[in-house]
């Protein structure tokens, strides 16, 4: 009987290290000699539904190894959420039909909470119809909001980028504040959880260092309190640096960005907190200001990735294969932090039933009592995650990133109508 193949796909917003997880999956599968070919979905789960499967065996070993230091989603990602099995059974039947046609017995989905939900649902459906399929979710989210894992691959590198960018921008502002900019606002990602904003606090190394204000989604925003803090800081230090989470909300739970559009997962599309805050400052005090949005830069900055993050991303991709070959399904490999003073970690596992659609918020004891900064407990948690450098190789001053052939396998099934109509 031929060895069963594997399907791997990337989902949701990509990161600086999601391809390191892909590298871990592909290299571990090849080393195992118990898996045939790893097919990668072109554009996430859509690749399975459309039967657009990339044959990773057509890539050289060198190219696959380069994935470890290549940012973004090498195989294409997507924001597409499978509905409940009873709501749209045909999509699940389609997935099983594609997997049967290509002898796929292992399913690896690399993503955040919605992606873990997809993996969990597929595990349930495959069991219901009696199709043998090991479904393993691989954690990935810069928001760091998945439960039951100490942290999420992708977060450590964003945290490092934000901490360094805050520190460097603060030096710029401090040098010009006497006659120029007095307020600088850096807007960072983080829909409901303030993990990324908290990382900006790592730039504080002594009293008076920036950021002077961190705005967390977990702390209701109070306009007058904020403005008083800005004015006091400018008068004391000559300038004020603010790190603001895109998910900042007022006491009524309304986002400061005020967006009404949603993405394919049904989440409100955020962005615009920084200019909103800047306008408040300008109208009240007239201070010269600048603001910036870290936006895609924070999640694609592989040139300054955390070595801890890269190592963990690869290890969880590798572990996913080992779990599948052990016959496990409906689980997610996790990062388990050691208990000693010196940072250590190992790979654990968590049931997808307890992971899917659950958000892990920033603990209140990680936020200072006044709500503007981080505590020593937060610093102890965050600092190891940004540790170490893992620079990509460079040529002519630019990093060398993987370029894939992305050879698609021959289709064996008719087009899937529901998706064909949307394309």
Q: Catalytic residues, which ones?
A: 143
Q: How many Å from the N-terminal Cα to the C-terminal Cα in the chain?
A: 37
Interhelix angle 113-129/89-101, rounded to 10 degrees, is: 70
- CA torsion 349→386→20→324, rounded to 10°? 0
Cα separation, 113 vs 370, in Å, equals 31
Work out the number of other CB atoms within 10 angstroms of the CB of residue 45.
26
What order do you get walking across the sheet with 289-293 strand by strand? 213-215, 240-245, 183-188, 289-293
Q: Which of 245, 214, 219 lies closest to 229, judged by CA? A: 214
3-state secondary structure 135-176: EEEEECCCCCCCCCCCCCCCHHHHHHHHHHHHHHHHHHHHHH
- The per-residue DSSP string of 19-51 comes to HHHHHHHHHHHHHHSS---EEEETTTHHHHHTT
Residue 213, strand partner residues: 242
Hey, what are 159's tokens? Answer: 């945290």
Helix locations, 337-393, DSSP H: 376-382
What is the C-alpha to C-alpha distance for residues 151 and 45, in angstroms, rounded to an integer? 24
Backbone phi and psi for residue 106, each to the nearest 5 degrees, phi listed first: -135, 130
399 vs 43: CA distance, rounded Å? 24
Which residues, including other chains, have CB under 8 Å from residue 129's CB and lie 6 or more apart?
93, 96
Residue with tokens 């407990």: 377
| Angstrom distances, CA of residue 363 to CA of 111, 145, 196, 294, 381 | 23, 11, 13, 24, 11
- Residue 178 per-residue DSSP state: T
Cα 374 to Cα 198: distance, rounded to the nearest angstrom? 6
């Amino acid at each position: 009987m031929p060895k069963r193949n594997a399907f791997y796909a990337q989902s949701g917003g990509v990161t600086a290290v999601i391809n390191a997880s892909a590298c871990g999956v592909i290299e571990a599968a090849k080393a195992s000699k118990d898996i045939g070919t790893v097919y990668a979905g072109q554009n996430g789960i859509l690749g399975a539904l459309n039967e657009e499967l990339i044959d990773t065996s057509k890539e050289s070993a060198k190219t696959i190894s380069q994935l470890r230091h290549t940012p973004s989603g090498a195989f294409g990602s997507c924001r597409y959420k499978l509905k409940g099995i009873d709501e749209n059974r045909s999509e699940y039947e389609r997935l099983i039909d594609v997997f049967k046609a290509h002898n796929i017995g292992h399913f690896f989905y690399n993503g955040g909470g919605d992606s873990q939900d997809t993996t969990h649902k597929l595990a349930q459906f495959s069991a219901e119809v009696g199709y043998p399929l090991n479904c393993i979710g691989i954690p990935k989210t810069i928001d760091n909001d998945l439960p039951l894992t100490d942290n999420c691959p992708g977060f450590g590198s964003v945290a490092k980028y934000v901490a360094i960018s805050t520190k460097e921008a603060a030096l710029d502002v401090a040098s010009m504040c006497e006659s120029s900019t007095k307020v600088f606002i850096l807007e960072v990602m983080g829909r409901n959880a303030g993990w990324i904003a908290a990382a900006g606090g790592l730039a504080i190394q002594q009293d008076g260092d920036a950021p002077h204000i961190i705005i967390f989604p977990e702390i209701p925003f109070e306009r007058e309190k904020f403005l008083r803090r800005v004015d006091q800081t400018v008068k004391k230090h000559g300038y004020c640096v603010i790190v603001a989470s895109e998910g900042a909300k007022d006491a009524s739970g309304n986002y400061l960005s005020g967006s009404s559009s949603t993405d394919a997962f049904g989440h409100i599309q955020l962005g615009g907190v920084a200019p909103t805050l800047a306008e408040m400052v300008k109208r009240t005090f007239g201070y010269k200001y600048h603001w910036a949005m870290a936006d895609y830069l924070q999640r694609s900055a592989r040139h300054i990735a955390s070595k801890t993050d890269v190592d963990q991303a690869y290890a969880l991709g590798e572990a996913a294969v080992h779990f599948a070959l052990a016959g496990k399904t409906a689980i997610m490999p996790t990062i388990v932090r050691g208990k000693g003073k010196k940072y250590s970690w190992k790979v654990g596992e968590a049931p997808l039933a307890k992971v899917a659609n659950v958000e892990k918020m920033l603990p209140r004891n990680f936020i200072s009592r006044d709500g503007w900064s981080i505590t020593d407990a937060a610093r102890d948690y965050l600092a190891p995650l940004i540790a170490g450098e893992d620079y990509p190789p460079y040529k002519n001053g630019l990093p060398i990133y993987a370029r894939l052939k992305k050879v698609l396998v021959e289709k064996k099934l008719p087009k899937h109508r529901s998706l064909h109509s949307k394309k």
